[in-house]
């Protein structure tokens, strides 16, 4: 039974690797091509990073405030 489980896991891993290699979501290992967004415009990058940070950090506090306000 153990050999069967091991072969099954190995074949699943090999299948997943083949699927990953076939997919078109691969970024070449070139200069400035290692992230899926552009960093050429510093202003645009700063706005996007600020929006991401404020949303991710502030959302739990906003939701807690909203839940406490509605419980009264």
Give the Cα separation of 58 and 39 in Å (integer). Answer: 24
Instruction: Name the more confident of 28 and 12.
Output: 12
Which residue in 60, 38, 63 sits closest to 49, CA to CA? 38
Give the Cα separation of 21 and 19 in Å (integer). Answer: 5
The whole-angstrom distance between residue 34's C-alpha and the CA centroid of its chain comes to 14
pLDDT surpasses 90 at 15: no
Give the Cα separation of 1 and 62 in Å (integer). Answer: 52
Q: What pLDDT, in 10s, does the model give residues 30-57?
A: 666 667 777 888 999 999 899 999 999 9
Instruction: Name the more confident of 22 and 39.
Output: 39
What pTM did the predictor assign?
Answer: 0.46
Tokens for 23?
């997919």
């Amino acid at each position: 039974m153990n050999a069967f489980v091991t072969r099954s896991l190995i074949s699943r891993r090999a299948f997943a690797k083949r699927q990953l290699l076939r997919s078109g979501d691969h970024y070449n290992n070139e200069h400035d091509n290692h992230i899926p967004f552009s960093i050429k415009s510093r202003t645009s990058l700063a706005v996007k990073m600020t929006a991401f940070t404020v949303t991710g950090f502030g959302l739990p506090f906003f939701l807690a405030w909203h839940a406490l306000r509605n419980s009264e």
